Structure formats: structure tokens, C-alpha cells
Chain A
């Protein structure tokens, strides 16, 4: 079967989210959105959020084209952040970013990543880190009111 590095990454959960992305739509009446680009890969995605007056992400969605890693990451991100207050979402973003770049070992250090730990494997594949983090950078940009983000 697959080599260890690739096996760690291409697990069933990721393959499933790639095939059947969750919250894959334009969110009508959203309060925030941003467009993310990874020019190197040609990955593109839009992230939409509805944030209520208590700063809670009450709804979130995405659309876009990209590799399995970027699509699954976006899909799982939407399922993780829905219903969370913005400050918790930001914490998740930072933890996810640190895990992807090998600066946080999710099995050894405290974190809130939960099922997002499945993406820890990208730290062994430097060329793919941006694929995993594109959705999160885009979400972060949307929350900060920037409409366009590029991972280059």
C-alpha cells in the first residue's frame, strides 16, 4: 500500500471530506467572506461566515477548487468552527497553523484541535502545508475584514 508519509495524510476521513465536502455552498446573508488563492497549486476557495452580535460564528461555508488536502481541510474547518465564538476560532487557527508547520505536536502538547489532528501529517510534506492551511488563512482574513488572501 502507500508509503508511511502519504498514508498518514490520505486517511479515509480526509478522502471522505474531499469527496463529500460539508457546508459546500455560498452562504446567503453572510456577514463575512474572503477569497483565498494558492497560486502555486491553483487552489482557490471562498469562505463565508455569519457572525452574530455575540461574536459567535453561527454559520460558515465554503466553495472552491483544489486538491484533496485543501478541500478536506476546508470542509473539516467548517464543521469545527460552526457555533464557536470568534476568539476560540482564532485559537484553533493558530494551533492548526503551528501543527501544520511542525511547531506544535498535538499528541504531546495541550490543544483544542480534536479531529483536526488528522492533518498533522502535512508537517512531513513541506510542499503541502499551504494546501492544508489555505482555508484557515482565508477564514482568518474574512474575520479580519480582508477579502483576498494569498498563501504565496
Chain B
């Protein structure tokens, strides 16, 4: 995206104090200290606007969708479908038929694996992913490849944690049935050149699924501009509820796909001899969906839009630069993941101190960070480490919180004499 002067103006108007007031949990004390929540890549907090939208549904509109002629059911259906429209606009999909509610990114990947790739994958075929993937974009493909005697191939990454594209064309073969790539790496923060990968794959008519779990809270996502075939996201990573996600799929492909799970709602008519499947997107939404959560996710999209994606990105970039500079002043801190294009998270190790000890000591100071392999064990292996400490920022974080993180890390080093 081009940075406009408008975006710069927006940064100036991002009022963090006011934003923080929208997030009830940020007022909590943890171990006697104000919570500094720096684990947004694992799950981000919800603003009152999201919590209230869910609450209102439960208090006034609760009922099933698409099934009743009574008032509540019509209201619930209206709210649920309104949420779908909000997400369509948020991702800039061209049609509501392309927006399928799932339980999250994991569910979206599994849907594509079982309804799209499975019947197209034969012995000796290939699935291409990257070394940066989250387990949710590895394991479904691994299982499928094992069952079909197909081959899982992996695009390598360099020492900065960037995908190496030099030999991309060699990895895209006549046997490649799908490419899976994450938009932003949750372990390292790398923003991947998804559009480039899509273009290369499409030149050979290979479809691409993008794991967008980490991108929706930070990036302007435009599925038409990216050109990808599938895009999977999770509500709880973008200030929405847990248990809800969205799979965007190009209509042309969705039309050809077999149902995923089966039961009520995904059919038009049922007899014991014959079942007629419902139209898109309902064909892929069997059973009563997570209605309250979908409504909450719609409210989360509204909330992000109300702050403005450009303003969010500029502010978060400032936090990233600040954290990188301040932590970088500590000689014992070694960053893992130093891509040129990075989302607002820092992953690091301190030689001689295990990340879990770092995490426990920081928690004692009220600072929530994630320590571990971040469901990306191949990434850890690539850098020959068991785990990292990861601080991931949202637009409600402040430089003061980063100062506390830095002080906490210095304390760890002192205690461990590292």
C-alpha cells in the first residue's frame, strides 16, 4: 500500500488512551501490577463494542437462524447475515457467497483440505507449503499427503525468516495441487509476498490458500487484489470472539466443491433417497452456526474500521520500531526473525535463559508474553532453538508497556546472571 498524507494524519489522531478505555480487561491488575498484554498474536482482547454486540444478541435476539418465521429468528438471521456482509467488505470479497463462517483458521484449512484438495490429490502429486507455516497449515496437508501417498514440499526461508523465492518456479510443478502460505508469520512476524506467490502459482493454474490469521488485525487485506483462491481467518486474533472464523473462497471453486460437514442448514431438500445441497455459502455451514460469535466478529470488523487500518499500521509500526530499538540495546537479546517486512511483534532469545523462565518472571511483573514454539516447530528447528519469547503488539499497547517489558527482560538477565 502507498502511504498517503491522509494516513500520516490518521496516526496523529489515534487516541490510545481513549482506545484503551474500550477494552475492559486492560484495567486488570496482575500480580499487583497493571496488565501489560503483549500476547496479541496468540489472541487479542475484545473491546466493549464486541462484548456488547454478543451480549445484546443473548439478551434480546437469541434464537436460531434461517429456520423460523417468528420475530427473534428473523432478527437473529438478519444480524448473522449482516455480520457476513461486514466481513465480506472487510476482506473485499466480491460476493457474500464467498464468505463461509467457520470455527477459525484451523477449520478453514481443514475445509479446503477435505472438500477441495482431497479429491484432486493423487499418488505422486505434491502440496507446497513454506517453512514458516503454523501447524494448522502443515498438519492437515501432512495427513492428506500421507493418505494419498503424495508429497509435501516446503519452500525454504533465509536467516532473516523470509521465504526464499529464487527457486519458486521449480517448486511449482505439474504435480502441485495446492500452495499453502501464511500472510504473516505468527512466530517471526514476517509479512510474506503473498501476491507474488499467487501470481507465480496461477501462471501454472495452481490454486493458493492463504492463512490470514495474523494479517487481519494488522494489514489491509484485499482478497481480490491478492488474487488468492482461499483465505482463512480467526475472529479471536482480530479483537473478536473465540470459536468463529471465516473462510473466503473464490465462488468458481466453491461451486465445484463437495460439502465439508453435513447435516441441517446445508441442504435444500432431504429424502432418504436424495439430498439436494443448499446454495453457497450455506452449503458449507452445517448445523447451527456460532451466531453470537459471528455477530461479535462483525462488530470487531466495525471497530477496526472505526480506528482505521492505515492508522493502526502506522501506530503499530512505531511500537515495533521502538521495541526493536530498546530490546536491541540489550546485548544478551538475540532477535529471531529480522525480515524487512514485519508485523508488530518481536521474537527473541536470551542465551543461557530458557524462554519459559523469561515468561514466568515477566508474568510476575504483570507482563503477558508468549513463550514456546508458537505452534511453528519447523521454524524453531530452522533456527536451532527450542522456543522463543514473543511480544506481539496491538494498537492499544503503549511505549510505556514496552519500557516495562525491557525492564523485565533486564531483570531476567540479572537474576540469571546471563
Residues in A lying within 8 Å of B, measured CB to CB: 1-3, 5-7, 9-10, 15, 18-19, 40-43, 65-69, 125, 127-128, 131
B31 within 8 A of A: yes
Shortest 10 CB-CB distances between A and B: which pairs?
A: A3-B364, A67-B354, A6-B364, A42-B386, A67-B356, A68-B357, A67-B357, A3-B31, A6-B361, A42-B387
A1 proximity list for chain B (CB < 8 A): 411
CB distance from B371 to the nearest CB of A (A): 8
Assuming the A-B contacts A2-B411, A10-B415, A15-B415, are A128 and B356 also in contact, with contact meaning beta carbons closer than 8 angstroms in the complex?
A: yes
Q: Flag if B387 contacts A10 (CB, 8 Å).
A: no
Q: Flag if A6 contacts B354 (CB, 8 Å).
A: no
Measured in the bound complex, the distance between the Cα atoms of B373 and A5 in whole Å is: 25
Measured in the bound complex, the distance between the Cα atoms of B131 and A128 in whole Å is: 30
B53 within 8 A of A: no
Residue contacts A-B, CB under 8 angstroms, 30 given: A2-B361, A2-B364, A2-B411, A3-B31, A3-B32, A3-B33, A3-B364, A5-B364, A6-B361, A7-B364, A10-B357, A10-B415, A15-B415, A15-B416, A15-B417, A18-B416, A41-B372, A41-B386, A42-B380, A42-B386, A65-B386, A66-B354, A67-B354, A68-B353, A68-B357, A69-B357, A125-B360, A128-B356, A128-B360, A131-B356
Q: Flag if B354 contacts A68 (CB, 8 Å).
A: yes
A7 proximity list for chain B (CB < 8 A): 364
CB distance from A44 to the nearest CB of B (A): 8
Measured in the bound complex, the distance between the Cα atoms of B355 and A65 in whole Å is: 12
Cβ 8 A contact of B365, one of A3, A66, A68:
A3
Q: Which residue of A3, A10, A40, A128 has the most chain B CB atoms within 10 A of its CB atom?
A: A3
Which residue of chain A lies nearest to B32 when distances are taken between CB atoms in the complex? A3
Residues in B lying within 8 Å of A, measured CB to CB: 31-33, 353-357, 360-361, 363-365, 372-373, 380, 386-387, 411, 415-417
Measured in the bound complex, the distance between the Cα atoms of B356 and A68 in whole Å is: 8
CB distance from A131 to the nearest CB of B (A): 7
B373 proximity list for chain A (CB < 8 A): 42
Q: Which residue of B357, B364, B380, B415 has the most chain A CB atoms within 10 A of its CB atom?
A: B357
CB distance from B377 to the nearest CB of A (A): 8
Q: Flag if A42 contacts B372 (CB, 8 Å).
A: yes
CB distance from A100 to the nearest CB of B (A): 15
CB distance from A130 to the nearest CB of B (A): 10
Measured in the bound complex, the distance between the Cα atoms of B361 and A69 in whole Å is: 12
Measured in the bound complex, the distance between the Cα atoms of B357 and A75 in whole Å is: 17
A40 proximity list for chain B (CB < 8 A): 372
Given A66-B354, A128-B360, 7 more A-B residue pairs with CB atoms under 8 Å apart are A5-B364, A10-B361, A10-B415, A15-B417, A19-B417, A68-B353, A68-B357
Q: Flag if A68 contacts B416 (CB, 8 Å).
A: yes
Measured in the bound complex, the distance between the Cα atoms of B365 and A40 in whole Å is: 23
Which residue of chain A lies nearest to B358 when distances are taken between CB atoms in the complex? A67
A15 proximity list for chain B (CB < 8 A): 415-417
CB distance from A138 to the nearest CB of B (A): 17
Cβ 8 A contact of B356, one of A5, A6, A41:
A41
A3 proximity list for chain B (CB < 8 A): 31-33, 364-365
A131 proximity list for chain B (CB < 8 A): 356
Which residue of chain A lies nearest to B31 when distances are taken between CB atoms in the complex? A3
Measured in the bound complex, the distance between the Cα atoms of B357 and A1 in whole Å is: 16
Measured in the bound complex, the distance between the Cα atoms of B360 and A6 in whole Å is: 7
A69 proximity list for chain B (CB < 8 A): 356-357
A2 proximity list for chain B (CB < 8 A): 361, 364, 411, 415
Measured in the bound complex, the distance between the Cα atoms of B33 and A19 in whole Å is: 30
CB distance from B310 to the nearest CB of A (A): 38
CB distance from A39 to the nearest CB of B (A): 9
A68 proximity list for chain B (CB < 8 A): 353-354, 357, 416
CB distance from A6 to the nearest CB of B (A): 4
Measured in the bound complex, the distance between the Cα atoms of B417 and A77 in whole Å is: 23
CB distance from A132 to the nearest CB of B (A): 12
B416 proximity list for chain A (CB < 8 A): 15, 18, 68
Measured in the bound complex, the distance between the Cα atoms of B416 and A67 in whole Å is: 12
CB distance from B87 to the nearest CB of A (A): 33
